[in-house]
Amino acid sequence: MIDIVINGRKVKAKEGTTILENARELRLDIPTLCYHEDLSPFGACRLCAVEVKVNGTWHVATSCNTVVEKGMEIKTDTDQVRESRKLAAELLYYKYPDTEAVREIAEKLGVDVYDEKGEDHDCILCGLCVRTCREIVGVSALTFLDRGPGRDLDEPKIDFNPTTCIGCGSCAYICPTGFVKMEAEDDKRIIWNKVFKMVPCEECGRYFAPEDQLRYISRTTGVPFEKLTTCVSCR
Amino acid sequence: MDKVAFSSWNGKIIDNRKGKASKALKSAGVNFPELPGKADALMGWNGLVVMNPKADVVSLTLNYLKEARKISCGECSVCMIGIDKIIDMFELMTEGLGDQGALAEIERIANEVSANAKCAFGQSALFPVSDAVKYYKKDFLDVIKGGRKIDAAGYRSAVTAPCIEACPASLDIPGYIELIKNRRFAESLNLIREKCILPGVVGRVCTHPCEQACVRNYIDEPLSIRLLKRAAADFDLQEGGGSLGGPRTAKKENVAVIGSGPAGLAAAYNLRVMGYGVTIFETFPQAGGMAAVGIPGYRLPADILSHEIDLIKRMGVELKLNTKMETLDVDRLKKEGYDAVFLAVGAHKGNPMGARGEDAGCEGFVDGVEFLRDINLGKKIEPKKKVLIIGGGNVALDCARSCVRLGFKDVEIVYRRSRAEMPAREEEIEGAEAEGVKIMYLTAPLEIVASEGRLECLGCVKMKLGKPDESGRKRPVPVKGSEHTIEADMVICAIGQSPELPVVKAKKKLSTTPWGTVEVDAVTYKTSVEGVFAGGDCVTGPATLIEALNAGNEVAKSIDAYLQNAKPEKGISFKGVEVGKHRGDAFVGKKAAGKVDLLDSKKRIKSFSEVEGAFAAADAMKEAQRCLRCYRVVVWQ
């Protein structure tokens, strides 16, 4: 355990934990869009900004991916912090004005949001789906496409690899804006425009999982495919 | 160009617009990028520099923003969208919309993006935009009032980064690291290969000056750039090792490359891509130059090099082994259809150490590079009891660590200065010590003592360090009366190498330097002989692999320009510019560098198996996430 100071309060923190984890333990309200406690921090939305004192001066830092250090001084509620969070929210709202998740958080952070209800479901590049696919599912069917010198890509975006996707739907479940859509149609599931064949439960006959997903589970766990064809409720 | 009307470079404001005499930037202690030719103004990550008082700063700013937008990765919420919003505000200004408030808003966005962007690009890119709005406010207001048009044409731009500047071959390091971060290993390797055709080799043995330049040095520890390059190459090999593709076009001219080392291979590959017919002539039975015969297998396994050479051969590059060119008959090569020659014979001849008896040719006294070559070419070497290796460079360390593996009982390096001056890489010295190599510092050889043609012992003298010499290292001075002998079964001399040049038969003599290296034009790599170019160790003397490889890249461009009667384009130079530093003091959290395992020192002395382990895919991606993406953009008019 190490000593840190949050908003003037001396607290003990576990080594290797982040500012955000410690702040949430203290029930301090820090907004986030790209953070999820089961995934590695990404630091993309910049909404979780706090101030950290380094060598005597205060700096803006994202709390989700800054690991606490011994004696670290942190402030989570200053004018600078509010201004940084507001600008990040303002810019997100500027780019995705009709996406509900963005409108909600922008309004909360003091951005003037128009009254009309948003109808869009933009990808805001929070990376939750990419990290879920890689870290939880373990297949990495979703990756970011790179921009930079000599790489001719006007807008950053997420790339879908249909050959590795198993159709589990985790990306649709985690997506905060509804950009990733999953449609079900009897024995079919459609996700990222790929059609997956669903397997019916041997007991109740309900289509409960894509065949590709069950085959993937069978391959990684060694359990024969035939033993996986019963749904959770009937097992 | 050196007079300025205005400069905010490095955040230092020089404003000579109000009738004051203009002052040269350099004399004001400011180094900014040197542009090819005359320019009115430039805008880069570190500021705005205006040479011509009539320069159009508003248009320059917009063009800079558009270039910066291309480089912004778009991953975090503030940088790319912030740039987008400022560009949109420019559009509104040209339509007459906006006021002083709009300019204040641009400054606010620029300041917040600098404070809160995720990477070093976003944290540094918008300072000059703030400068322009602040110090050229009137010009911006003129645009809003409709008195000034925005011009998009006639601008040039360049992108660099601290690591790119430090790399002799200028690899797009942040670019290939980002592709690894996003699990795009094959694309990463393609990007590496654009400037480094031996990625698996360089990923193992490069001296990585990029890592010394990494901005993370100021925060925690540098990125493991070399290991990331190796990872990209290794993953490709594990998947079967894809091809390099074919030539882009076909050209009728042919080029002869003398020497198949990194310089020769890089030139051959690049020339082949351009469509030329290429033949490489190699003296030894194995291709690769020093990479093949000079680097031991425990640092660079032979199959890694041979795979990368195979790929180049599969592109249609002809490789003639066992072809020693003692005479280089340029006219004959021309008659045989070669329109240009690239001399890249390296530096394979060991330098004499100036000790008595070294020329007598006694058994047990051997040359370091020859020793390494014999091992690499499979010659059986009987291990002896005691071996002394003279020298403190990488060749000496390679010899010592090879001796340990060959079964020599007692391996000792004799070096005339102290450890601090040793030119070998630190990890090499540590590795050798872990394997039981002893190092005798401040000792210089005086005599090779032999009897009946067999080595008996080494005559030595103790040294002490005096004043620094031209190289900046302290000069060793003999201690009077400290002469002594050390008994040994073998002495290996590894104190440096020189090229062994062929006799060139041509109308003009091949110019060489007093050090026995080939004299070339620093830009074109042309020798004194028409149609003959030279590069690599035979020009520089023994240098790093990546420097030789870069010479090959550059020579290919120069030969192409020569054969096509074209003039190579001059680029921007960042020499003397502190690319590693940027304005502002945005926060970056600490993250320890990824490490790889080394083969246990007890196990590794038993064979020539590779010592250093590799990153697994997940480790490589994690390490790549540490990259701060310190791209720097410069736009000029």
**In this complex, which of B74, B115, B172 lies closest to A60 when CB atoms are compared?**
B115
In this complex, do B85 and A94 lie within 8 Å of one another by their Cβ atoms? yes
Q: What's the mean pLDDT in A22-30?
A: 96
Size of interface A-B (CB pairs under 8 A): 113
Distance from CA of A152 to the nearest CA of B (A): 8
**In this complex, which of B81, B115, B590 lies closest to A67 when CB atoms are compared?**
B590
Share of chain A above pLDDT 70, in %: 100
Torsion, Cα A173 A179 A180 A184, to 10 degrees, reads: 90
Neighbour order of strands in the sheet with A9-13: A9-13, A2-6, A73-75, A49-54, A57-62
Strand partners, B440: B414
Distance from CA of A119 to the nearest CA of B (A): 21
- Domain B3-154's class? mainly alpha
Give chain B's mean pLDDT: 94
Q: What is the pLDDT of residues B346-360, one digit of tens each?
A: 999 999 999 999 998
Q: What is the predicted pLDDT for the residue at B29?
A: 75
Mutation site, A146, A153, A161, A177, interface B, largest B CB count within 10 A: A146
ipTM, two decimals = 0.94
User: Minimal CA–CA distance to B497: which of B330, B356, B294?
Assistant: B294
The topology under which CATH files domain A2-108 is Ubiquitin-like (UB roll) (3.10.20)
Q: Which segments of B167-274 does DSSP mark as H helices, in order?
A: 173-181, 185-193, 199-205, 209-213, 225-238, 262-273
Q: What is the distance between the alpha carbons of residues B511 and B502, in angstroms, rounded to a whole number? A: 12
Which residues of chain B have a CB within 8 Å of the CB of A84?
112, 115-116
Which residues of chain A have a CB within 8 Å of the CB of B182?
143-146
Q: What is the C-alpha R_g of chain A?
A: 21
**In this complex, which of A62, A145, A149 lies closest to B159 when CB atoms are compared?**
A149
**In this complex, which of B84, B179, B589 lies closest to A66 when CB atoms are compared?**
B589
CA-nearest residue to A61 within chain B is B587
Which residues of chain A have a CB within 8 Å of the CB of B184?
143, 146
Taking domain B350-497, whether its CATH number is 3.40.190.10 is answered by no
Q: Are strands A182-185 and B349-350 parallel, antiparallel or unpaired?
A: unpaired
**In this complex, which of B82, B175, B184 lies closest to A91 when CB atoms are compared?**
B82
CA-nearest residue to B70 within chain A is A148
Q: What is the distance between the alpha carbons of residues A156 and A158, in angstroms, rounded to a whole number? A: 7
Q: What is the pLDDT of residues A58-113, one digit of tens each?
A: 999 999 999 999 999 999 999 999 999 999 999 999 999 999 999 999 999 999 99
Query: Which stretch of B18-27, B226-235, B501-510 has the lowest confidence by average pLDDT?
Result: B18-27
Q: What is the predicted pLDDT for the residue at A19?
A: 97
CA-nearest residue to B116 within chain A is A60
User: Minimal CA–CA distance to B359: which of B445, B447, B444, B443?
Assistant: B447
Q: What is the predicted pLDDT for the residue at B95?
A: 87
Q: What's the mean pLDDT in B29-51?
A: 91
Distance from CA of B370 to the nearest CA of A (A): 44
Strand partners, A17: none
User: Minimal CA–CA distance to A50: which of A75, A22, A21?
Assistant: A75
CA-nearest residue to B622 within chain A is A40
Q: What's the mean pLDDT in B3-25?
A: 82
Mutation site, B75, B77, B220, interface A, largest A CB count within 10 A: B77
User: Minimal CA–CA distance to B312: which of B348, B261, B347, B373?
Assistant: B261
In this complex, do A62 and B118 lie within 8 Å of one another by their Cβ atoms? yes
Indicate the pLDDT class of residue B69, thresholds 50, 70 and 90.
Answer: very high
In this complex, do A84 and B81 lie within 8 Å of one another by their Cβ atoms? no
The answer to whether B585 faces chain A, any CB pair under 8 Å, is: yes
In this complex, do A59 and B587 lie within 8 Å of one another by their Cβ atoms? yes
Query: Which residue in this structure is represented by tokens 């594990």?
Result: B238
Q: What is the predicted pLDDT for the residue at B20?
A: 62
Distance from CA of A196 to the nearest CA of B (A): 25
Q: What's the mean pLDDT in B455-483?
A: 92
Q: What is the distance between the alpha carbons of residues A20 and B237, in angstroms, rounded to a whole number? A: 41
The answer to whether B115 faces chain A, any CB pair under 8 Å, is: yes
B544-573 residues touching A, CB cutoff 8 A: none
Q: What is the pLDDT of residues B370-389, one digit of tens each?
A: 999 999 999 999 999 999 99
Q: What is the pLDDT of residues A146-173, one digit of tens each?
A: 888 888 888 999 999 999 999 999 999 9
Q: What is the distance between the alpha carbons of residues B552 and B2, in angstroms, rounded to a whole number? A: 34
- Domain B254-348+499-563's class? alpha beta
Q: Identify the DSSP state of A136.
A: I
Q: What is the predicted pLDDT for the residue at B18?
A: 80
The answer to whether B68 faces chain A, any CB pair under 8 Å, is: no
Distance from CA of B435 to the nearest CA of A (A): 35
Q: Identify the DSSP state of B518.
A: B
In this complex, do B109 and A145 lie within 8 Å of one another by their Cβ atoms? no
Same topology for domains B254-348+499-563 and B350-497, yes or no? yes
Mutation site, A40, A68, A151, interface B, largest B CB count within 10 A: A151
Cβ–Cβ under 8 Å, residues B389 and B396: yes
Cβ–Cβ under 8 Å, residues B30 and B10: yes
Q: What is the pLDDT of residues A104-148, one digit of tens each?
A: 999 999 999 987 777 889 999 999 999 999 999 999 999 999 888
**In this complex, which of B84, B172, B183 lies closest to A149 when CB atoms are compared?**
B172
Mutation site, B92, B121, B587, B633, interface A, largest A CB count within 10 A: B587
Distance from CA of B598 to the nearest CA of A (A): 26
Distance from CA of B200 to the nearest CA of A (A): 23
Structure tokens at B568: 């190579």
Q: What's the mean pLDDT in A219-234?
A: 93
**In this complex, which of A62, A91, A148 lies closest to B175 when CB atoms are compared?**
A148
Which helix or strand (DSSP H or E) is residue B100 part of? helix B100-116
Q: What is the predicted pLDDT for the residue at B470?
A: 84
Cβ–Cβ under 8 Å, residues B631 and B79: no
Domain ranges for chain B, please list them. 3-154, 254-348+499-563, 350-497
Measure Cα distances from B119 to A44, A159, B114, B484 in Å.
10, 22, 10, 59
Q: What is the predicted pLDDT for the residue at A3?
A: 96
Cβ–Cβ under 8 Å, residues B398 and B422: no
Q: What is the predicted pLDDT for the residue at B85?
A: 97
Sign of CA dihedral B303, B304, B309, B315: positive
CA-nearest residue to A48 within chain B is B116
What is the three-class DSSP state of A187?
Answer: coil
Q: What's the mean pLDDT in B507-531?
A: 95
| Residue B23 in this model has a pLDDT that exceeds 80 | no
| Residue B28 in this model has a pLDDT that exceeds 80 | no
In this complex, do A94 and B112 lie within 8 Å of one another by their Cβ atoms? no
Q: What is the predicted pLDDT for the residue at B150?
A: 84
**In this complex, which of B159, B183, B589 lies closest to A65 when CB atoms are compared?**
B589
Domain ranges for chain A, please list them. 2-108, 128-228
Distance from CA of B556 to the nearest CA of A (A): 21
In this complex, do A49 and B589 lie within 8 Å of one another by their Cβ atoms? no
Structure tokens at B218: 């100021």
Q: What is the pLDDT of residues B123-177, one digit of tens each?
A: 999 999 999 999 999 999 999 988 778 888 889 999 999 999 999 999 999 999 9
In this complex, do B183 and A143 lie within 8 Å of one another by their Cβ atoms? yes
Q: What is the distance between the alpha carbons of residues B387 and B396, in angstroms, rounded to a whole number? A: 12
In this complex, do A61 and B589 lie within 8 Å of one another by their Cβ atoms? yes
Mutation site, A19, A81, A87, interface B, largest B CB count within 10 A: A87
Q: How far is CA B238 from the centre of its chain?
A: 26
Indicate the pLDDT class of residue B2, thresholds 50, 70 and 90.
Answer: low
Share of chain B above pLDDT 70, in %: 99
User: Minimal CA–CA distance to B124: which of B58, B47, B55, B206?
Assistant: B47
Give chain A's mean pLDDT: 94
Structure tokens at B283: 């003296």
Cβ–Cβ under 8 Å, residues B474 and B299: no
Which residues of chain B have a CB within 8 Å of the CB of A148?
70-71, 73, 172, 174-175, 178, 631
Measure Cα distances from B91 to B69, B78, B85, B86 in Å.
15, 20, 10, 9
